[in-house]
Amino acid sequence: MADVRQPNGHPSGTGVRLEPPGMADVLEARRVVSRYLSRTPLYHYPGLSDLVGTEVWVKHENHQPIGAFKVRGGIYLMSQLGPEERSAGVVTASTGNHGQSIAWAARAFGVPATICVPKDANPTKLNAIVGLGAEVVVHGTDFDEAHLHAQRLAAERGSRYVHPGDEPALIAGVATETLEILEDEPGIDTILVPVGGGSGASGACIVAKSVRPAIEVIGVQSSAAPAAYLSWKARALVEGEMATFAEGLATRTAFALPQRVLWDQLDDFVLVSDDELRTAVKDMIEHTRNLTEPSGAASLAGALRLGDRLSGKRVALVCTGGNITLAQLRAILGP
């Protein structure tokens, strides 16, 4: 049974209601992000289009230096910190990709960073965080327990706590991926975006609806961790189960700021099973020759579930990341 909570509209403990970024913020974020990151490709794959049954493009955020889209948000957020905040350092919580993002951006800006992760965090992502020079604190059995510990740790140290979703700068930063999609293919009709905390989907909504309101933005989440989906349906923050193997989608609670954007602007939201995610990983490898982590393949899984509804549309699938472990890959591909 899901637990419904009323949204406070701000990160826990701040007492300040935050406003979502606008298109002007995204354009400023693009100016900053472009100094540090190369543009990622948007490729059309005939085989994938045949599989889905319509014209399909893939936005390859798995080509980012950390192998995931979140680095865009980390860079823009770090650029917005004042001198005192940078000196005091940042603390955040992550199952992997957000942590890599903050670690990469913190190193680029010379900011001390501490990342709290659950005990079963993806080892590939964990090793990358350590390699980027961030302090790693292992705490709790899932993201939400690590998240609470990160808040306590930041308060004890006087550091800047970075919420994984309720940060306007993070949303503005990751929204630049959608700006690139529509610059490269202005005729895109539908964008499918994997959803964990919702920063990517909310950023996609902000850009797509500013550029051309008729563009359809669809979120995709695992049915084994449906908190964001349930929150979108209820128009209230919902806490749900968290049993998916796709750690990039593994959140037990929804985030207030992204949800406010999704409630207003997201056109649809679909759930896919973990088995559908496994199939989508294999399909992505076969048709794009790219390694894709399970959460990164969620957009394809969603497109396959929607089926004929996408017929005749030009569809962009956001491949949010490629940080799959060897163990996950072996389990998905089989002997």
The CA-atom distances, in angstroms, between 174 and each of 158, 193, 305 are: 27, 12, 25
* E-only strand ranges, 12-155: 42-44, 55-60, 90-93, 113-117, 135-138
Strands (E), 124-249: 135-138, 160-162, 190-194, 216-222, 237-239
Strand-pairing partners, residue 113, are 90
Q: What pLDDT shows up at residue 6?
A: 33
d(CA 30, CA 28): 5
Q: Is the pTM of this model over 0.75?
A: yes
Q: Are 287 and 57 in contact (CB under 8 A)?
A: no
CA 260 – CA 270 distance, rounded (Å):
18
Beta bridge partners of 284: none
Q: Mind listing the domains of the chain with CATH numbers?
A: 8-69+169-333 (3.40.50.1100), 71-165 (3.40.50.1100)
- Nearest 5°: the CA angle 207, 212, 213 is 90
Per-residue pLDDT of the chain (335 residues; tens, 9 = 90+): 333 333 333 344 445 679 999 999 999 999 999 999 999 999 999 999 999 999 999 999 999 999 999 999 999 999 999 999 999 999 999 988 999 999 999 999 999 999 999 998 888 888 999 999 999 999 999 888 999 999 999 999 999 999 999 999 999 999 999 999 999 999 999 999 999 999 999 999 999 999 999 999 999 999 999 999 999 999 999 998 889 999 889 888 899 999 999 999 999 999 999 999 999 999 999 999 999 999 999 999 999 999 999 999 999 999 999 999 999 999 999 87
Query: Which residues, 6+ apart, have CB-to-CB distance to 335 below 8 Å?
Result: none
Sheet order of strands, 135-138 included: 135-138, 113-117, 90-93, 160-162
Q: How far apart are CA 268 and CA 266, in angstroms?
A: 6
Question: Cβ distance 190 to 317 under 8 Å?
Answer: no
Strands 3-5 and 237-239: antiparallel
